[in-house]
Amino acid sequence: MKLLPNTKNYLNQSNLFKMKIIKSNVEILIFPNGNLVLTGAKTLEDNYNALDFLIENLSRLGIKVKRKARLTVQNIS
């Protein structure tokens, strides 16, 4: 299933949607309750770029996204 350009998408048994952004090597896990987990980022800027990419492309698909979010960063190395 290919929803967005430059991504690989997977849906597993627990309804967890995984999307890998190819150019930045960041993987976004989207949970059924709307929570997101970003993995693979080397810098904080990678996280923000991945979020911007996700929000812009979901908006193009007609999915409304609230920009209010609480961001917690853990273990960037």
Model pTM score: 0.73
State how many domains the chain has.
Answer: 1
Q: Tell me whether strands 7-11 and 36-39 are parallel, antiparallel or unpaired.
A: unpaired
Residue 1 falls inside a structural domain = no
**Integer Cα distance of 66 and 13 in angstroms:** 27
The tens-digit pLDDT sequence of the chain (77 residues) is 456 666 666 666 677 788 888 888 888 888 888 888 888 888 889 888 988 888 888 888 888 877 676 777 777 65
Longest dimension (CA), the chain: 35
Structural domain including 13 reads 7-60
Residue 15 falls inside a structural domain = yes
pLDDT at 1: 45
pLDDT at 41: 87
